[in-house]
Structure 1
């Protein structure tokens, strides 16, 4: 039992050494990291443990394996500061920081609310909601996917405005004359499901940041309930009070 624990710790130790060496510039972008044999000798570890370490940093995006040649260091993007306040809007955040961004409406539907939507939006089980799934990109790289729900009565015929979709809030402001104000957000580190893993282009073993949010009309009644899933390696959140 003790031996198993030592092995588990050793592969994490090797992975941490490799990550720190990349961060410190010892192994530079597009350069090859030490071979399995070199790492086995350096850490007096067997090949299985070294391969576990390399698999870990591969899954975390630090290196890319090339068949028959070894693993090469990737260019790691600096995390984007995602600002959260009562009036946060993704598009404005990115524009203010001069960051190239875009978004894509993956899917939309109109249907009866689930229990979470009923509770958060304070609607009955018979009131219809629009449910949108939006994928956002930074420099053409997926950064987050959000499922947003809005009562149909607040945005009748919403689908008429989906052509050339660029921003949900732009539609709300330009066509329905209101801008949701964030009321609360709940943060949680979770593992992505298969679908989110594919959309965000990350392994299922890498945690993401899930943000469950409720936004109100300026007058106070709930109008938008959303669940965002953000890549943890590309986001850092700033909460403003």
Structure 2
């Protein structure tokens, strides 16, 4: 019987979940959609029942499995597969609603800081100018999709820290409270793996790939008003770019 070796700093249940996810994608459990029991998986992976349950619950959080009381775990009939199209005026919440999903934004932290040099350069500011930093977790149907770090010039958004506390959509808030509509100026893309903290927030294994998109947005007057570093789950999100005709 093969024993799956542990990867340093990666919990055993993450490794088991990764293996099961690969097998699900290969169609090994598609006949009746039912996963092997915790006892069977425990013998296979030589892991205790608690570890196996953590692995299965992780796949539930990622939208791959659903639990059925007294019967075990089953494949989701409609896997969460987000087709995310980037356009100059695209909004996360609008895209998710069009896909028949329920969008949500959770504000994790908010700060007012002196702009570091790289942030100031990206936003056309002077180093040390006041800026806001927001950390936002974006979800669809309660499943985490992306972790965003957003920077906004303090000059254009008075009292933002109080206003943003009750937000459900950042762009809707900026339009309603500051009469500001945002449009994409530029985006850079790169792939990689999440840090342990990012993996924990996104509820994925550190071995799962992520797509890192860094974007600069302007307002209707052409002013640079937002810099966002967004890290999307590679297992659930497909990103495309729509060019204007």
TM-score normalised to structure 2 length: 0.73
2:199 alignment partner, one of 197, 200, 215: 197
- CA–CA distance in 1 between the matches of 2:236 and 2:33? 18
Q: Aligned equivalents of 2:95 and 2:22: distance in 1?
A: 33
Residues 142-196 of structure 1 show CA distances to partners (whole Å, capped at 9, x for unaligned) of 1111110010001111122124221111111011111111011111111101111
Contact 2:210–2:231, Cα closer than 8 Å, also in 1? yes
Partner of 1:22: 28
- CA distance in structure 2 between the aligned counterparts of 1:73 and 1:178, rounded to whole angstroms: 45
Q: Whole-Å Cα distance in 1 between the matches of residues 26 and 130 of structure 2?
A: 51
Q: Which has the larger radius of gyration?
A: 1
The reply to whether residue 31 of structure 1 matches residue 41 of structure 2 is: no
The aligned residue for residue 117 of structure 1 is 119
Q: Of the candidates 225, 228, 234, which is equivalent to residue 227 of structure 2?
A: 225
* Per-residue deviation, residues 36-94 of structure 1 (Å, max 9, x unmatched): 8xx9xxxxxxx99xxxxxxxx98x94689xxxxxx966437231111211001111212
Gaps of 5+ in 2: 1-19, 47-54, 67-71
Secondary structure of 2:95's match?
helix
- What is the deviation of 1:116? 2.4
Partner of 1:207: 209
SS of 1:120's partner is: helix
Query: What SS does structure 1 have at the residue aligned with 2:108?
Result: strand
| 1:125–1:16 CA distance, 2 compared to 1 (3 A) | closer
Whole-angstrom distance in 2 between the partners of 1:126 and 1:15: 46
Contact 1:135 1:145 (C-alpha < 8 Å) held by counterparts: yes
Give the C-alpha shift of residue 219 in structure 1.
2.8
Do 1:22 and 1:73's aligned partners in 2 also have CA atoms closer than 8 Å? no
Secondary structure of the 1:237 match is strand
Secondary structure in structure 1 of the residue aligned to 2:122: helix
Superposition pairs of residues 1-241 of structure 1, within 5 angstroms: 19-22=25-28, 25-26=30-31, 28-32=32-36, 61=59, 74-75=75-76, 77-241=79-243
TM-score normalised by L of structure 1: 0.74
Rounded Cα–Cα distance in structure 2 between residues aligned with 1:20 and 1:96: 29
CA contact (8 A) 2:82 2:99 kept: no
Q: What secondary structure does 2:198 align onto?
A: helix
Unmatched tracts of structure 1, length 5 or more: 1-13, 40-46, 49-56, 65-70
2:8 corresponding residue in structure 1: none
Q: 1:194-241: CA deviations, max 9, x gaps?
A: 111111000111111111111112232211000001111111112111
Is this contact kept in 2: 1:32–1:73, CA < 8 A?
Answer: no
